[in-house]
Structure 1
Amino acid sequence: MQTAAEGHRSKKYILSINCGSSSLKFSLYHALSTNLEWAGSITRIGEAKAHLEIRDYSHYLLEHHDKHYKNFNSAVTEVIAWLKDKQEKYPLMAIGHRIVQGGPKHFEPVIITDELVKTLDEMVYLAPNHLPEEIATIKTFQAAWPDVRQVACFDTCFHHGMPSYVKDYPLPVTYKKMGLMKYGFHGLSYEFIMQELAKQFSPVAEQKIIIAHLGNGASMAAVKNGFGVETTMGLSPLGGLVMGTRSGDLDPGVILFLLKQAKLTPDELDGLLSTKSGLKAIAGISDIRELLQAEPEHPLAKEALTMFCYTATKYIGALAAAMGGLDMLVFTGGIGENSAIIRERICHELGFMGIELDKSKNKKNELIISKSTGKVSVRVIKTNEELMIARLVCSVFNYAIKQ
């Protein structure tokens, strides 16, 4: 039997907001059950033809159109207008935001206050390509719904417990006091995957697991006995694997070369490493699907794909070594969930570790894609950062989720 408070929650909704580098995802969940009502996205923000799409829980198309959104604010404003038009049908209880970075002191999900927003403003130098849009989005939603509480869900929380010898850089402590340390990202995705694994596989807390979140932005995390102990991204989402438009790890001498010899300004260097590097720098194409289509006739597309898969393979080996072994490898993210050929290429040289893919299962995107004879279980699990945000919102308010 529902309590009065639960009855009130059953009539309200949680809105999850996920700002990407050029996309905005937004999903509405029932506040009592966190069951999905509808989910939407605006992609290619800033380009000539961006695309808005909203589908309900049964995947029925509610809204879609192409339009030029010159910046994030115009995209957020359109989402708010769509919601305002339906606010009697979808009254909001809370709004949760994915926040990429909160510095060394803010990592656990927390109710957003003016003081927190001020602190995030002061932390922009740690994530200049993400925080400004996220902060602006928070303020725009605050203006639209001043009486609805908002929650910040930090992407760094999952990695906060990494040991000091992983988090700390071998630099003078002065810089650590300025916030210079390894934070790690994609934490909401990793937390969601671990929750899903716990449902599917009860002894997950005793396993050595690598989660490969592969998308336009890509990273991996090593999870030992239920805790994140290492990850490929560091101070920023630029490090680690080669990505669509990001460089991944570089020798520090490369940065010095670009500053001294190429005479780049810090802003120019940021733009180069964030939007003009990675797969795009090699082949002129950043999208894996387009690269795979171009590969037969385009040697540089083949080169880009080879580098992407090689670095992924290399980091799986490194993370397994960091844990002293490997029991499970999980692929997630847009590429990890959908590209059988990329998964196959990444795992091809890992037989010595006990990774053996079943080609038929892999091609069908089954949950378990490894052979029964393989020592390492290889899985494909769809991530859901927006649902994770809704769950964290409930945890902040100490709301039990009723299934």
Structure 2
Amino acid sequence: MDRNLIVTMNAGSSSLRCAVFERGSDSPDPLLRLSLRGLPEAMIWERKDERSGESLEEELTPPKVDSDAQAVALAEMKDRLLAEVASERIAAFSHRVVHGGRDHTAPVIATEEVMTDLDALSPLAPSHQPHNLAVIRDLSSGFPGIPQVACFDTSFHRDLAQVDRVFALPRDLSEEGIVRYGFHGLSYDHVATALDDLAPELSGGRVVVAHLGHGVSMCALRNGISVATTMGMTALDGLPMGRRPGSLDPGVVLYLIEERGMAPAQVREMLYDRCGLLGLSGISSDMNVLIQSDAPEAREAVEFFVYRCQREIGSLTAALGGIDALVLTGGLGEHVPDIRARICGGLGWLGVEIDHGANDAGETRISAPEARVPVFMIPTDEESVLARDAETVLED
């Protein structure tokens, strides 16, 4: 039996997504997509046949409170995957790994040496990196003859100029790797490719892409290449997120440790789990919940998020020396038209103006016909990038 399938694995802090691609296919779409989301409080299963459009959703028994929710989800995913696909047909598993650090700037087979390198980066992405690596190790053990390919979110930003890469710290620290890496690279890679197919006359110009999800970042592209991005050495930096604060005066961290007596571990837990929209509102990290709430704290959190997005789009436009197109992607960018409208509503000075009918309908181009700057909503597809990158590694 030919090994003609690539299986992608995308392990997040609250979900596990899988897709099955056929090698050599004329279609860029996978044969099917499988996902488990809502972890750890719930576990919602979804199976979608991309080619027929058929979809099935089922609410499963959530993991026990004291269990490893990701391990439970992975065991469930493996069982369901192997009910669909014979392991003898799998040529490779391709994994999203959030942080590649200085040494891993291209997809690579996840050898033990590589895994040791990536383990050392876990403190820089504690909400993601351990989950990513746990899946690789589990599948390496369960399928010893099948290559495990690691693809890095940081790779897309590997060519950032020095002025965009460094912090104003002592040079020896920068030389040791304390620099800006940027994240959401698989998403930006897909959007850059999709925009080139959709509007090639724009993709070679100055484009700002906003990845708006539970994690939030933006990227300035020139000719499809990252020239500036909002996240830094870790995924805490930049824009406010569901539970992470975004940009923060480092003196706040010093004050919390030195004057308030918080242990570093307590500060880390707060920054990764109790800030952002959840911290500002005291209600929820879910933007949909906040939009629907009448509480003034919810309104303030939404307004702060929109304001910071508008400011950052302005900053990235300055980095590019102008803007030829704006692209919104990610869960909020794709599924919450109210957020798209609010963000774009404050960018008239840039030449942004949306068509509210197109925006409400979720069309791909949501800008008004007369707008100077076209605005697009392009759904992200990290899985297609994972499959493509695995194919490249296998061919090498």
When normalised by structure 2's length, the TM-score is 0.94
**Match in the other structure for 2:284:** 285
**Match in the other structure for 1:393:** 390
CA deviations on 1:87-120 (whole Å, 9 max, x unpaired) are: 4387211100000001111121111211111111
Code of the residue aligned with 1:159 in structure 2: it is H
Q: Secondary structure at the match of 2:31?
A: strand
CA 1:268 to 1:32, structure 2 compared with 1: closer, same or farther past 3 Å?
same
C-alpha deviation, 1:50, in angstroms: 2.0
Distance in 1 (alpha carbons) for counterparts of 2:346 and 2:54: 42
CA 1:198 to 1:302, structure 2 compared with 1: closer, same or farther past 3 Å?
same
The root-mean-square deviation of aligned C-alpha atoms, in Å, is: 1.7
Distance in 2 (alpha carbons) for counterparts of 1:382 and 1:63: 20
CA 1:90 to 1:200, structure 2 compared with 1: closer, same or farther past 3 Å?
farther
Q: Is structure 2 residue 29 aligned with structure 1 residue 35?
A: yes
Distance in 1 (alpha carbons) for counterparts of 2:253 and 2:101: 23
CA 1:364 to 1:251, structure 2 compared with 1: closer, same or farther past 3 Å?
same
Distance in 2 (alpha carbons) for counterparts of 1:303 and 1:375: 30
Code of the residue aligned with 2:243 in structure 1: it is T
Q: Is structure 2 residue 45 aligned with structure 1 residue 52?
A: yes
Distance in 1 (alpha carbons) for counterparts of 2:367 and 2:174: 42
Percent identity, please.
37
> Retained in 2: the 8 A contact 1:80–1:144?
no
Runs of 4+ displaced beyond 6 Å: none
> Retained in 1: the 8 A contact 2:36–2:77?
no
> Retained in 2: the 8 A contact 1:211–1:220?
yes
1:102-121 equivalence runs, <5 A: 102-121=100-119
> Retained in 2: the 8 A contact 1:367–1:381?
yes
Distance in 2 (alpha carbons) for counterparts of 1:349 and 1:74: 44
Distance in 2 (alpha carbons) for counterparts of 1:62 and 1:92: 24
Q: Secondary structure at the match of 2:252?
A: helix
C-alpha deviation, 1:205, in angstroms: 4.7
Distance in 1 (alpha carbons) for counterparts of 2:61 and 2:95: 24
**Match in the other structure for 2:358:** 361
Q: Secondary structure at the match of 2:285?
A: coil
CA deviations on 1:238-292 (whole Å, 9 max, x unpaired) are: 1111111110100111111111122111111111011100110122211111111
CA 1:81 to 1:336, structure 2 compared with 1: closer, same or farther past 3 Å?
same
**Match in the other structure for 1:3:** none
Point out where structure 1 has 5 or more consecutive residues left out of the alignment.
1-6
Distance in 2 (alpha carbons) for counterparts of 1:376 and 1:271: 40
Distance in 1 (alpha carbons) for counterparts of 2:309 and 2:56: 38
C-alpha deviation, 1:52, in angstroms: 2.1
**Match in the other structure for 1:24:** 16
**Match in the other structure for 2:5:** 13
Point out where structure 2 has 5 or more consecutive residues left out of the alignment.
none
Distance in 2 (alpha carbons) for counterparts of 1:188 and 1:245: 21
Distance in 1 (alpha carbons) for counterparts of 2:76 and 2:135: 12
CA deviations on 1:154-178 (whole Å, 9 max, x unpaired) are: 0011111110011111111222243
Distance in 1 (alpha carbons) for counterparts of 2:86 and 2:204: 47
CA 1:328 to 1:63, structure 2 compared with 1: closer, same or farther past 3 Å?
closer
**Match in the other structure for 1:273:** 271
Code of the residue aligned with 1:40 in structure 2: it is L
CA deviations on 1:303-347 (whole Å, 9 max, x unpaired) are: 111011000000000100111100000000010011111111111
Distance in 1 (alpha carbons) for counterparts of 2:226 and 2:334: 21
Code of the residue aligned with 1:306 in structure 2: it is E
Identify the match of residue 221 of structure 1 among 205, 219, 222: 219
**Match in the other structure for 2:141:** 143
> Retained in 1: the 8 A contact 2:8–2:387?
yes
Code of the residue aligned with 2:289 in structure 1: it is E
C-alpha deviation, 1:38, in angstroms: 1.3
CA deviations on 1:365-385 (whole Å, 9 max, x unpaired) are: 111111222111101111101
Distance in 1 (alpha carbons) for counterparts of 2:124 and 2:209: 25
Code of the residue aligned with 1:50 in structure 2: it is M
